[in-house]
Structure 1
Amino acid sequence: MNHSSQQSLDSSLETSENRAVPKLRKVLLATGIGHFVEWFDFGLYGTLAAIIGLQFFQAGEPSVALLSSFAVFGAGFIMRPLGGLYFGSLGDRIGRKKVLATVIMLTSGATFLMGLLPTYSQVGITATVLLVLTRLVQGFAAGGESSGATTFLAEYAPTERRGYFTCWIDNFGFMAFVAGSGLVFLLTASLGEAAMTDWGWRIPFLIAGPLGWVGLYLRTHLEDSPEFLEMAKSGKTASSPLRMALTTAWSALFFCVGFVVIKAVGHWTLQTFMPSYLSTELHYSKLDSYAITTIGLFAIAVMVPFMGYLSDKFGRKPLMLAGCAGFILFTWPAMMLMARGDMLSAVMAMLLLGAFIAAFDGACTAAMAELFPTRIRYGGISIAYNVAVAFFGGITPWFSAYLMTATGNPFSPAWYVMGAALITFITVLRAKETAGQPLQR
């Protein structure tokens, strides 16, 4: 955390509005580091998709193996709505902290096991089946992560700084992607592409084990959010929060799904699709592809807190609309810039697209939490978030690769990103501004 951000965080801790504010730094760090571990684990698969395709599917065309690998990537997202339904409802009934501890255990365990799996050349189709199963467990657990972390931090944050504090969730998430991409870059540089493809790819997955224990320790040593504790003390927790969300919060669910469309597509385009796209389609070396992606994701992580601050100052809608408009107008030109074939152009393109997702994320996390009342906040966000991510985000790498194969146009994935941005743009236009308002009780 830089000096100016630390000063901003310290000044916010002096706010007397929320009795939980003195604990906010600890809550922010513990929640954020846990989120870092969760998305480091989940994102590794996407970063290493090209290598995984070669290891777990029958030898053949690299593009076919990549499509197969992305299909398994999408299979994990199929489980996310189920995980969201289960963990979201549980989080509204028994508390946010216990559920967040559970999901980090499941994800880290599945990721660690992925590093131990035999390959297709060793056990044939059994390797593919085991890969799918571990990915399904990852997806089920991930269904309770982002919505839970968002709910937990939003319920601790002071009203006038909620955008700034909650957007750190996205900062830690992108830093996890940076760490994963950076680790793969360093391993590829030190081991060489041949060794990395042969056995070095296992190392990042095996690191998930000890990282998971760190995240679990931090999450189990927090108190639950004051909003939930107050609700539980008064006996107002919902006996069936899932049913309540589905029957009483249709408008909030609709807006939350719409918000998440470009968030999901933008995230997984930049984090998962780009490394393979740069190396397979645009013929950058794997080393250069990982470097370009790492630089872009790091820049996003740096920009997000500033965008969260702006969302508190100017509102959620202006930032979200600006991010959507940027994707609609500049995704195609950015992909053309990447195709020039030099690293500087590719980095510039990644930074351009990164600025748009940073603007959107800086406002969106708080905006989602502000849609729902406390009794159904975890479950409501879980349902909407994971349905949108599964339907739009999970298919992003596969569908982008399919578009190129079907059309023969290397820039055709831009159409999908632009369409997703248009859906969210229209949704945000119809939404009410919620910045500066207390959370619904």
Structure 2
Amino acid sequence: MPTHTELSGQSVRRSVSAAALGNIIEWFDYGIYSFAAATIGMHFFDVQEPSVAAVSSFAVFALSFLMRPIGGVVIGILGDRRGRRDMLMLTVGLMTAATVVIGVLPTYAQVGFLAPLLLTLTRLIQGFSAGGEYGGANIFMAEIATPNRRGFFASILESGVLVGYLGGAGIVVGLMSAMSSDAWQDWGWRIPFIASLPLGILALLLRRHLEDTPVFEKMKAAEEIAHSPLRDTFRRAPMPLFVTFLVVAYANGAYYLVLTFLPSYVQTEIGLSANASLMLSIVIMLILLVTIPLFGRLGDRVGRRKLMTLSVVVHIVVAIPAVMMFSSGDITLVYVAAVLLGIAMAPLASQYSAALTVLFPRSIRYTGFTLSFNVSTAIFGGSAPFIVGSLLASTGNNFVIAYFLILVSLLALIGIKLLPDNTGMSADHDVSMGALSQSKVHVTEASEKSLN
């Protein structure tokens, strides 16, 4: 029988499914919003040009990321004091409600300037909930996984990101293909947002029956709950905050650049058709969906730092040649360049959350990880399409894409060099990075057992 410090195989599988489904919903919304950006902009802003409408939509997209650090701190503190499971219920509920509301908002033609204000408000709510969702799900996963499978479990969460994004892209492409242009522009764009409701209800039902993590239950039983998680985070974990910030700058900067900005870029600047640009993004995501779990298993065997280093080095090397291939206008070269940039993300994407979450002591893990993760994401992730798009528009220099990618890659390389090798380390510890190499936080006999 499993004890309070060990979950059964069935509980682990149920927990993995519930955690991944929340990520799917979060990225389902991002996929819809990204691929329908031009349509949304035309409805909610007083603009006529699709390119201007898309930039306006991406500006709201970027603004919502400013709420992620706030959500990360608030939900993180509650997660360290009240438990991981309750916060995952809260985040998926807020995310689902805000996404559905976008589908029924009045447009600029109906209510004028209130339309962009209401759109921004819903995106801010989504940003707040997302601030606790992704980090919380990764912490939940890290604390239920055995150390020798933590990378694989983390890769499942990343796969959930792609499944959600693919679902959002797929429903947008499917509706645009099946409906007349007038019908899509008039009311069809609302359908994908409203369609997230059944997914949200399912996620709530699954998470309602979850047990909290053995790590948190053990901490609660020992009365080790932090009274001031935010203060303790800055006092006890400055290096984990710094390393996480650097690595996430690349992880999310590259992600949003490749999966959000590039589809719009190759359509508006290179001249690919809307369907061709959407198909390009879908191809990249399908490849990542296959490769990330494979790298997840590999990282548990060969170590996380090696795979993370591989990603950033490849991007530093290929960033400028890839932009040159984009500028050629040859559709084959455009596809090759985009796929290469996408595949290069897979090794780090499969490992970084597994490596970073356990840098933090268990009593402040939710607060510390979500704080650093979301501050970095707000600066380098969600803002990437808007920053790169604005620089491209003002300078006319296509190489700003490569320069941004190289910048975040170099930041991550510094973080990886500072990162201790914690591949086989248990998440059930209350020491911070810097003490990890001296501490004896090893894989326990119980944690070595397979949870098949």
**Quick check: TM above 0.5?**
yes
CA distance in 2, matches of 1:276, 1:50: 9
Find the counterpart in structure 2 of residue 211 from structure 1: 199
Secondary structure in 2 matching 1:167: helix
Give the conservation status (yes or no) of the 8 Å contact 1:241–1:379. Answer: yes
Tell me, which stretches of 5 or more residues in structure 1 are unaligned? 1-14
Q: Which moved more, 1:312-321 or 1:64-73?
A: 64-73
CA distance in 2, matches of 1:403, 1:169: 32
Find the counterpart in structure 1 of residue 51 from structure 2: 63
Match of 2:148 among 150, 153, 160: 160
Find the counterpart in structure 2 of residue 334 from structure 1: 322
2:251 aligned with 1:263: yes
Find the counterpart in structure 1 of residue 83 from structure 2: 95
**1:291 CA displacement:** 1.3
**1:410 CA displacement:** 3.0
Match of 1:32 among 11, 17, 20: 20
**1:416 CA displacement:** 0.8
CA distance in 1, matches of 2:294, 2:160: 14
Match of 1:320 among 300, 308, 315: 308
Find the counterpart in structure 2 of residue 85 from structure 1: 73
Find the counterpart in structure 1 of residue 218 from structure 2: 230
Q: What value does the CA root-mean-square deviation take over the aligned residues?
A: 2.0
2:97 aligned with 1:104: no
1:338-366 Cα deviation digits (max 9, x unpaired): 44445543332232112121111111010
CA distance in 1, matches of 2:341, 2:182: 31
Find the counterpart in structure 2 of residue 175 from structure 1: 163
Tell me, which stretches of 5 or more residues in structure 2 are unaligned? 431-452
2:334 aligned with 1:346: yes
Secondary structure in 2 matching 1:352: helix
Q: Which moved more, 1:91-100 or 1:408-417?
A: 408-417
Match of 1:99, as an amino acid?
A: M
TM-aligned CA distance change 1:21 to 1:367, over 3 Å: farther
1:375-394 Cα deviation digits (max 9, x unpaired): 11111111000000011112
Match of 2:151, as an amino acid?
A: G
**1:194 CA displacement:** 4.2
Find the counterpart in structure 1 of residue 132 from structure 2: 144
**1:174 CA displacement:** 1.2
Find the counterpart in structure 1 of residue 439 from structure 2: none
2:100 aligned with 1:119: no
Match of 2:6 among 14, 19, 28: 19
Find the counterpart in structure 2 of residue 44 from structure 1: 32
1:388-417 Cα deviation digits (max 9, x unpaired): 001111210111111111111234222111
Match of 2:97, as an amino acid?
A: G
Match of 1:309 among 287, 293, 297: 297
Find the counterpart in structure 1 of residue 437 from structure 2: none
Secondary structure in 2 matching 1:309: helix
CA distance in 1, matches of 2:334, 2:205: 39
Give the conservation status (yes or no) of the 8 Å contact 1:264–1:392. Answer: yes
**1:125 CA displacement:** 1.1
Give the conservation status (yes or no) of the 8 Å contact 1:67–1:398. Answer: yes
| Greater helix fraction, Structure 1 or Structure 2 | 1
Find the counterpart in structure 2 of residue 377 from structure 1: 365
Match of 2:47, as an amino acid?
A: A
Match of 2:7, as an amino acid?
A: A
CA distance in 2, matches of 1:60, 1:394: 25
Task: Provide the identity percentage.
Answer: 38
**1:39 CA displacement:** 2.0
1:284-323 Cα deviation digits (max 9, x unpaired): 1212211111111121121111111121111111111111
**1:278 CA displacement:** 2.0
Give the conservation status (yes or no) of the 8 Å contact 1:182–1:290. Answer: no
Match of 1:150, as an amino acid?
A: N
**1:135 CA displacement:** 0.6
CA distance in 2, matches of 1:162, 1:21: 16
Give the conservation status (yes or no) of the 8 Å contact 1:292–1:343. Answer: no
1:263-283 Cα deviation digits (max 9, x unpaired): 111111122112211221122
Give the conservation status (yes or no) of the 8 Å contact 1:188–1:196. Answer: yes
TM-score (norm 1): 0.93
TM-score (norm 2): 0.91
Secondary structure in 2 matching 1:180: helix
Give the conservation status (yes or no) of the 8 Å contact 1:164–1:362. Answer: yes
CA distance in 1, matches of 2:225, 2:298: 34
Find the counterpart in structure 1 of residue 276 from structure 2: 288
Q: Which moved more, 1:96-105 or 1:295-304?
A: 295-304
Match of 1:49, as an amino acid?
A: A
**1:171 CA displacement:** 0.8
Give the conservation status (yes or no) of the 8 Å contact 2:30–2:168. Answer: no
CA distance in 1, matches of 2:22, 2:206: 7
